[in-house]
Amino acid sequence: MQLRNRAAYGFLAPYLLIFAAFWIWPIISSFLMSFQNTRVNPWVFSFGANWGRLFNDPAFYNALKNTMIILIIQVPVMITLATIMAVLLNSPLLKARGLFRFAFFAPVVVGEVAYAAVFRLMFNLDFGIINKLLNGIGIASISWFAEAPAAMALLIIAVTWRWAGYNAIIILAGLQSIPGDVYEAATLDRVSKIRQFIYITLPLLKPIILFCVILSIIGSMQLFTEPFLITNRGGPGGGTETLGLFLYRQGFTSLNFGYASAIAYTMAALAILISLLNLWVGRDEK
């Protein structure tokens, strides 16, 4: 090894120090904690205290069910919307491009607390603008916070609003990296724009869309702030309690760190499993 290459360790050291202390050690530590009963002092090894309990806990299955419903509906809806936004924003015929980009990308910079507050007011049963507008077109008011299916729909709407633009930015960058001459032959052969999109654009975009899907799965798997603030701690009656919120309650309200760690590792395993499933479904069949 050349002498000058030793300098690399100096440049890397501060970053690795933070990484080791606040990531590597916690990854190991929470894995170990998931096998410990942390409600006795000192903590003792116990498989049943956390893992045994987890698979018999109706609250866990409720949170798992809610998280999966949100994930299965929200991720495809959002990625479809984001793809449409990106394709339309990429059109050479578009006027006032800056304004449309602002409209779709602005939610990306809005903090979770700020948008949670707005959504709570907009969807209020009696005074919310959404119900007033629904009434205006002859639809009865929906009690967004008192009925579990409506509350779930509200969470899905909120998360989609917040994150569609983020994914559209990534997909748009992918679209812009497709060279224009790919389409030239197709245009000369009078292949319609829609067929060009299905047979040329989509296959080229597939890796990027898969990347967005996996990022979104990991994100939605950890959904916490929205059910915490918008639907008031997973209400009504646990109807929107997600795995993230369930973990927060166990870890930071009941201070049962071992049980919370088991939930965290379950989330990680599910995220990896679903991501792999997506990679498998989206693989190139050659």
Q: Footprint of other proteins on residues 226-245 (CB under 8 A)?
A: 229, 232-233, 244
Asked whether position 133 contacts other proteins by CB under 8 A, the answer is yes
What are all long-range contacts of 123-131, with beta carbons under 8 Å and residues at least 24 apart? 123/154
What lies within 8 Å, CB to CB, of 166 at 6+ separation is 82, 105, 108
Shortest CB 197 distance to other proteins, Å: 13
Closest to other proteins by CB, 14 vs 42, is 14
SS3 (DSSP) at 162: helix
| Interacting span for other proteins (CB under 8 A) from 55-63, 71-79, 218-226, 277-285 | 218-226
Other C-beta atoms lying within 10 Å of the C-beta of residue 89: 21
Closest to other proteins by CB, 116 vs 150, is 116
Asked whether position 18 contacts other proteins by CB under 8 A, the answer is yes
Query: Measured over all CA atoms, what is the biggest interatomic distance in the chain, rounded to whole angstroms?
Result: 77
List the end-to-end C-alpha distance of the chain, in Å, as a whole number: 42
Verify cis geometry, omega within 30 degrees of 0, for the bond prior to 236.
Answer: yes
Shortest CB 253 distance to other proteins, Å: 11
| Interacting span for other proteins (CB under 8 A) from 59-67, 72-80, 148-156, 225-233 | 225-233
Asked whether position 134 contacts other proteins by CB under 8 A, the answer is no
Asked whether position 24 contacts other proteins by CB under 8 A, the answer is yes
Rounded distance between C-alpha atoms, residue 208 and residue 197, angstroms:
15
Shortest CB 30 distance to other proteins, Å: 5
Rounded distance between C-alpha atoms, residue 167 and residue 145, angstroms:
28
Show the DSSP H helices in the chain as ranges.
Answer: 7-19, 25-33, 47, 53-54, 58-89, 97-105, 112-122, 129-136, 148-176, 181-188, 193-196, 202-221, 225, 243-248, 257-281
Among 41, 56, 58, 136, binds other proteins (CB under 8 A): 136
Q: Which two tokens stand for residue 26?
A: 């916690």
Q: Footprint of other proteins on residues 251-280 (CB under 8 A)?
A: 251-252, 257, 260-261, 263-265, 267-268, 271-272, 275
Q: Footprint of other proteins on residues 55-114 (CB under 8 A)?
A: 84-85, 88, 91, 93-95, 98-114
| Interacting span for other proteins (CB under 8 A) from 61-69, 160-168, 195-203, 278-286 | 160-168
Closest to other proteins by CB, 151 vs 212, is 212
